[in-house]
Amino acid sequence: MENISFLSVAPEVVLLIGAVLVLMAEVTLKLGRRAWALLGGGATVAAFGFSILQWLRVDEVMGQLNFSARGVTALRLPMVVMDHMSAFAGMLIFAVAVLALTSAWPLVSSLGSRGAEFVALFLLAVAGLHMMTMASNLILLFIGLETASISLYVVAGFTRDQARSDESALKYFLLGSFASAIFLYGVALSFASTGSTSIYGAGGIQAFFQANVILEPGIALIGVALMMVGIGFKVSAAPFHQWAPDVYQGAPAAAVPMMSAGVKIAGFAALARILTVAFPALQDDWTTAVALLAAISVVVGTLFAIAQSDVKRMLAYSGVAHAGFILMALVGGRAGIPGMWFYVGTYAFQLVGAFTVVTLVTGSRADRAPFDAFRGLGQRAPFLAGMMALFLIAMGGIPATAGFVGKLSVFGAAVDAGYLWLVILGVVMASAGLFFYLRLVVVMFFQDAAEAPGTATAPPELHAPSRVVLAIAGAITLVLGLVPWPLLNLVGDALPL
Amino acid sequence: MDFPILASLVILPVAGAAIVAMLPRNRTELFLPVAVLVSLPTLAVAGYLLFSFETGEAGFQFTERVLWYEPWGLSWNMGVDGISILLVALTALLFPISILASASITKNVKLYMVSMLILEAGLLGVFLALDLVLFFVFFEITLIPMYLLIGMWGSANRVYAAIKFVIYTALGSGLMLAGIIALGIMAGDQFGGITFDYMALLDLELSSNAELWLFLAFGIAFAIKVPLFPFHTWLPDAHTEAPTAGSVLLAGVLLKLGTYGFVRFNLTLFPAASVDLAPWLVTLAVIGIVYGALVAIVQPDVKRLIAYSSVSHLGFIVLGTFALTMQGLQGGVIQMVNHGLTTGALFLLVGMLYDRRHTREISDYGGIAKVMPIFAGVFLFSAFASAGLPGLNGFIGEFMVLLGGYLSFPVHSIIAASGVVLAAIYLLWAYERVFTGPVTKAENEKLFDLNLREIAIVAPLVVLIIYLGVNPKPALDRIEPSVEAILERIETNTDYDVPDFGYTAELPVEAAGEEE
């Protein structure tokens, strides 16, 4: 047992216990929604607390496990690794999860006894996501990926009475399992070429590349490429993004924040670890691929977002573009990871905030969110509209918001890596992106609700906890735009071992 | 460090915006007076700055420097020199005036006033910032309030104009951001630490290729902002659709961000590229001068006419800047101020007319001078100033620009001189159609003349137009050393020789002959 640090798996353990207890509370103890909220929220908050503890005690625990920065260790094939990167990812994922669960609460309440299932699945998904970021073994990473994905497939189809929700779940499931299979095939090929599925450890991939030079890395390259495709699908990077608009649109609005924000955080963390820790030897090859993926994502995401008439679809395509911007940081390899973290970290909160507004405006079970539903929101619900505008402006990368600092950091990383063309493409697309972000601002503030007959003119009912979610996400967006230094310092350390 | 006077210039409007935001929602009558009041301290500080500014010094004064974020080399780095001091004063002056002129705004007045004050902070920040990222942040921050001003309080086609304005500007500034990052990282390679400090970047050694691309990255952003032909198409829409105050500030200050950027960054950071590309920019400027003027002549909409006249006038400023002569550059800088005053006055006057009749069509007027004599007089005066009548401010700037332009680009300058004639045509012809003759429309017979508030709005501008026209020396004295330093820098970094007339006798520019 001396090789086990319970702290390193504490968040997962808490979450799984939470999930089980929520189900028990419903099935055996017949406790109401309040108990689910207490258990689900409590488990997530506890996981968040453990992540902070992990961050503070990384060095100590790693010492116990005889890890060192070079990956030489008493353990031959460690399964999990607890480093600043996984701890930081934990803090982000769990914080986002608390907010997302809060904003999903109207949906949970409306589901009756099935609400407990929703909460349990949500907790499982969160545990799976964090497992992706701390996996030292590609198989475990895959298990985390699948735990999260399968939970989210179900969540996407949770409003079974709505055909579109079923369609969304099925589409997500089919394409998602296809992508998982591709990822797994990538793992198999990388095993074939390096003889290991472990990233760290004396018998791991990292150690293999330190000891050997592969003269013909064909198989390894294909393996890396397939893993990139698999994760590219999860984070909805073009050209693997086609599922995102349909799934976001069809899934119940309240389920989308976790689906979009949480998966992006975990996916990019996993990708960064695989690329920069396991395969730095092939960096010259994979940076080109990452740059291409980034370029395609930014262009496709932006251009398609312009053409959307549904806010959820628009945010889905803008998410594709954002995936591209985040990938830009990774062309810098390890040096780009802090930039990636800052961008993902702040974007996740913008995304949660934006989808929370969508949930409130259209209702938590709604599938569609047409622009018309937002008409005159500035008058009907100034707080919602103002917050939405803030998130949109931040996504557009306007200074004084965290979005600008995020863009600055990923562009900086890309320029530093010599990818000036990518940055120029990025800035051009970022400014084109302002068009569709501001279009929604126009709809909310410059158009009166009365102009469109048949749309809601009454202010949307404001779920008080959601208001808190918006205030927190808004504060993060604004404060980190004005004073980004603390987070920049923090992410500077949030590197993989 | 002394009292951070420049930071206070940025903080005061923000604090003012906060005060306005905290006013009770139902006291709408308070918003405008309070907004005017809170913009006055900024004006006072700017005035103090203007008078305590040491003339004859080329360097930056009142500098402030606080390191913000070491790893990225970011700092709160501010200073004024002879080029920015006048623009700061102009900005601080135009804001109380344009807020006072916003009485016709009735919808969302509080947000309007807050946007105006945030815009003021952003614009002052742009002129004061000496750190490139800080500059960019302020440059971009101005976008949002301006977008709201046009989009929420503009006229019929406002949403289209607002979006067009934002996309055009953001596209340019996006390229500039790429340039700024590249510059900072190159500085990191050379100095061993990333920096965006303007003063440090002056020592950066760039390959001629890098310099060319960086010049373009910055230059396109500024060319769109100026706007230089053929990047000007956003301007007529934005100017025309914006509310009066929006047009005044767009013409008066926002366009100057472009010309200021050219002078401050392009000329000094990329001297070799400036010299190489000067003929192109001057050519575009001259096309803009003539094209803008020709299009202005045929405009049926009086606001659009003034908007196109801005294209023409800003062409003069770019011509003066890239003539790369003492007179040209000095003329360009002072013309930035002049254009802000005269075009600001014209837009204010058109706004007052619009408030009365709710139309901007020239054909809807005629013989207005009979019912509104004071208004007609002030309008004619401003039109003369805009057309460059000697004795008024426009003359000094255009004369110096053409003089300086002639030294390096004689043919261009001769063509550009036609812009002065064309300006007289479009302005006076418009005056004739709107003001002279009999009153043809019944609606126009009952128009009342300027009231006291409106006279108070235009009076400061009229006074300054005359003052700068007869006594430009104090302004030129402040500009001159800084301009001279820029040209000296270009001479030392390239094999370019600043041409001059070989004597310094009667020119207002005493130092012109002292250069090699």
pLDDT per position as a tens digit, B320-374? 999 888 889 999 999 999 999 999 999 999 888 888 888 888 888 888 888 888 8
Q: For chain A, say whether B212 makes contact (Cβ under 8 Å).
A: no
So what's the pLDDT on residue A67?
A: 53
B174 contacts A431? CB cut-off 8 A: yes
**With contacts defined as CB-CB under 8 Å, which chain B residues touch A400?**
137, 141
Q: Is the predicted pLDDT of residue A231 greater than 90, yes or no?
A: yes
If you average pLDDT over every residue of chain A, what do you get?
87
User: Which of A398, A426, A439 has its CB closest to that of B144?
Assistant: A398
So what's the pLDDT on residue A71?
A: 42
So what's the pLDDT on residue A168?
A: 86
B181 contacts A423? CB cut-off 8 A: yes
User: Which of A427, A442, A492 has its CB closest to that of B71?
Assistant: A492
Interface mutation vs chain A, best among B11, B14, B155, B181, most A CBs within 10 Å: B181
So what's the pLDDT on residue B280?
A: 92
Q: Is the predicted pLDDT of residue A346 greater than 90, yes or no?
A: yes
Summarised one tens digit per residue, pLDDT across range B225-246 is 888 888 888 888 888 888 888 8
Say if residues A294 and A275 touch (Cβ distance below 8 Å).
no
Q: Name the CA dihedral angle for B199, B204, B208, B212, rounded to a multiple of 10 degrees.
A: -40
Q: For chain B, say whether A418 makes contact (Cβ under 8 Å).
A: no
Exposure string (b/e) for B46-55, b if CB count within 10 Å is 16 or more?
beebbeebee
Q: How far is A337 from chain B (nearest CA, A)?
A: 15
B136 contacts A399? CB cut-off 8 A: yes
So what's the pLDDT on residue A443?
A: 85
So what's the pLDDT on residue B110?
A: 83
Say if residues B90 and B42 touch (Cβ distance below 8 Å).
no
So what's the pLDDT on residue A181?
A: 94
Q: For chain A, say whether B71 makes contact (Cβ under 8 Å).
A: yes
**With contacts defined as CB-CB under 8 Å, which chain A residues touch B182?**
415, 420, 423
Say if residues A152 and A96 touch (Cβ distance below 8 Å).
no
Q: How far is A441 from chain B (nearest CA, A)?
A: 10
Q: For chain B, say whether A442 makes contact (Cβ under 8 Å).
A: yes
Q: Is the predicted pLDDT of residue B514 greater than 60, yes or no?
A: no
| Mean pLDDT calculated for residue range B405-430 | 89
So what's the pLDDT on residue B106?
A: 80
First to last CA, chain B: 38
Q: What pLDDT band is residue A458 in, cutting at 50, 70 and 90?
A: low
| Mean pLDDT calculated for residue range B99-107 | 84
SS3 B67: strand
So what's the pLDDT on residue A69?
A: 42
Residue of B nearest to A434 (CA): B167
Q: For chain A, say whether B11 makes contact (Cβ under 8 Å).
A: no
Q: What pLDDT band is residue A91 in, cutting at 50, 70 and 90?
A: very high
Q: How many whole angstroms separate alpha carbon B153 and alpha carbon B22?
A: 21
Q: How far is A431 from chain B (nearest CA, A)?
A: 5
Q: How many whole angstroms separate alpha carbon B195 and alpha carbon B199?
A: 10
A427 contacts B178? CB cut-off 8 A: yes
So what's the pLDDT on residue B236?
A: 86
So what's the pLDDT on residue A338?
A: 93
Q: How far is A432 from chain B (nearest CA, A)?
A: 6
Q: How many whole angstroms separate alpha carbon B508 and alpha carbon B516?
A: 19
Looking at per-residue pLDDT, the higher value among A20 and B69 belongs to A20
Residue of A nearest to B187 (CA): A416
Q: Is the predicted pLDDT of residue B102 greater than 60, yes or no?
A: yes
Q: Is the predicted pLDDT of residue B288 greater than 80, yes or no?
A: yes
A411 contacts B177? CB cut-off 8 A: yes
| Mean pLDDT calculated for residue range A239-259 | 87
| Mean pLDDT calculated for residue range B488-497 | 84
Q: How many whole angstroms separate alpha carbon B476 and alpha carbon B468?
A: 10
So what's the pLDDT on residue A276?
A: 92
Weakest-pLDDT range from A50-64, A105-119, A296-310: A50-64
Interface mutation vs chain A, best among B69, B75, B144, most A CBs within 10 Å: B144
Q: For chain B, say whether A415 makes contact (Cβ under 8 Å).
A: yes
Looking at per-residue pLDDT, the higher value among A125 and A375 belongs to A125
Q: How far is B395 from chain A (nearest CA, A)?
A: 39
Q: How many whole angstroms separate alpha carbon A483 and alpha carbon A391?
A: 17
Q: How far is A91 from chain B (nearest CA, A)?
A: 24
HEC letters along A374-411:
HCCHHHHCHHHHHHHHHHHHHHHCCCCCHHHHHHHHHH
User: Which residues in chain A (69-88) have CB-CB distances under 8 A to chain B?
Assistant: none
**With contacts defined as CB-CB under 8 Å, which chain A residues touch B151?**
442, 445-446
Q: Is the predicted pLDDT of residue B456 greater than 50, yes or no?
A: yes
Q: For chain B, say whether A398 makes contact (Cβ under 8 Å).
A: yes
Percent of chain A with pLDDT over 70: 93
So what's the pLDDT on residue B366?
A: 81
Q: How far is A88 from chain B (nearest CA, A)?
A: 20
Q: For chain A, say whether B76 makes contact (Cβ under 8 Å).
A: no
Say if residues A264 and A358 touch (Cβ distance below 8 Å).
no
B144 contacts A428? CB cut-off 8 A: no
> Who contacts B196 (Cβ-Cβ below 8 Å, separation ≥6)?
B72, B73, B74, B75, B131, B132, B133, B134, B180, B183, B184, B187
Q: How many whole angstroms separate alpha carbon A219 and alpha carbon B175?
A: 40
Q: How far is B476 from chain A (nearest CA, A)?
A: 35
Q: How far is A238 from chain B (nearest CA, A)?
A: 22
Q: What pLDDT band is residue B166 in, cutting at 50, 70 and 90?
A: confident
Q: Is the predicted pLDDT of residue B511 greater than 90, yes or no?
A: no
DSSP 8-state symbol, A281: G
So what's the pLDDT on residue B127?
A: 92
Q: For residue B445, count CB atoms less than 10 angstroms from its CB and return exposed for 0-12, middle for 13-18, buried for 19 or more.
A: exposed
- Residue B26, Cβ neighbours under 10 Å: how many? 7
Summarised one tens digit per residue, pLDDT across range B243-267 is 888 889 988 899 999 999 999 999 8
User: Which of B163, B174, B185 has its CB closest to that of A430?
Assistant: B174
- Residue B506, Cβ neighbours under 10 Å: how many? 5
User: Which residues in chain A (445-474) have CB-CB distances under 8 A to chain B?
Assistant: 445-446
User: Which of A398, A445, A492 has its CB closest to that of B152?
Assistant: A445
**With contacts defined as CB-CB under 8 Å, which chain A residues touch B72?**
412, 488
User: Which residues in chain B (146-165) have CB-CB distances under 8 A to chain A?
Assistant: 147-148, 151-152, 158-159, 162-163
So what's the pLDDT on residue A459?
A: 62
User: Which of B140, B166, B182 has its CB closest to that of A415?
Assistant: B182
- Residue B404, Cβ neighbours under 10 Å: how many? 30
Looking at per-residue pLDDT, the higher value among B135 and A451 belongs to B135
So what's the pLDDT on residue A456?
A: 54
| Mean pLDDT calculated for residue range A247-260 | 86
A400 contacts B141? CB cut-off 8 A: yes
User: Which residues in chain B (175-194) have CB-CB distances under 8 A to chain A?
Assistant: 175, 177-178, 181-182, 184-185
So what's the pLDDT on residue A250?
A: 85
A vs B: CB pairs below 8 A: 82
Q: How far is B196 from chain A (nearest CA, A)?
A: 12
Summarised one tens digit per residue, pLDDT across range A396-425 is 988 888 999 999 899 989 988 888 889 889
So what's the pLDDT on residue A70?
A: 42
Looking at per-residue pLDDT, the higher value among A452 and A170 belongs to A170
So what's the pLDDT on residue B108?
A: 80
Weakest-pLDDT range from A75-84, A322-331, A391-400, B429-438: A75-84
So what's the pLDDT on residue B503?
A: 54
Q: For chain A, say whether B415 makes contact (Cβ under 8 Å).
A: no
Q: Is the predicted pLDDT of residue B317 greater than 60, yes or no?
A: yes
Residue of B nearest to A396 (CA): B170
A398 contacts B137? CB cut-off 8 A: no
B158 contacts A404? CB cut-off 8 A: no
Weakest-pLDDT range from A89-103, B1-15, B402-416: B1-15
Q: Name the CA dihedral angle for B148, B151, B152, B158, rounded to a multiple of 10 degrees.
A: 160
Q: Is the predicted pLDDT of residue A299 greater than 90, yes or no?
A: yes
DSSP 8-state symbol, A261: I
Residue of B nearest to A379 (CA): B108
User: Which of A415, A428, A488 has its CB closest to that of B69?
Assistant: A488
**With contacts defined as CB-CB under 8 Å, which chain B residues touch A303?**
none
Residue of A nearest to B158 (CA): A446
